[in-house]
Amino acid sequence: MTTNTLHISTLDTVRHYINPLHVYCRLIDLGMCKAKARQVVAIYEGLFKALLG
């Protein structure tokens, strides 16, 4: 009998944490207002895309 297990690699974990939507949600969790969080993430996403292509 085989067991299907969910294997999450380190790369998958890193991709999750640097995802702009994840960053936005964490900023909201930290108490930042939604409008400011959107502005910050828009800048972050621009840098993110420029660096990673």
- Give the pLDDT confidence of 21-42 residue by residue, as tens digits: 999 999 999 999 999 999 999 9
CA dihedral angle for residue 45, residue 48, residue 50, residue 53, rounded to 10 degrees: -110
- Tally of domains within the chain: 1
Residue 2's pLDDT is 57
Confirm whether 42 is domain-assigned: yes
Confirm whether 5 is domain-assigned: no
Confirm whether 3 is domain-assigned: no
Confirm whether 1 is domain-assigned: no
Task: Give yes or no for residue 43 having a pLDDT over 70.
Answer: yes
Q: Rounded to two decimals, what is the model's pTM?
A: 0.77
Confirm whether 25 is domain-assigned: yes
Mean pLDDT of the residues in the chain: 89
| CB contact at 8 A, 46 and 20 | no
Confirm whether 38 is domain-assigned: yes
Confirm whether 43 is domain-assigned: yes
- Measured CA to CA, the distance from residue 19 to residue 15 in angstroms comes to 6
Mean pLDDT of 36-52: 92
Domain of 28, in residue numbers: 10-52
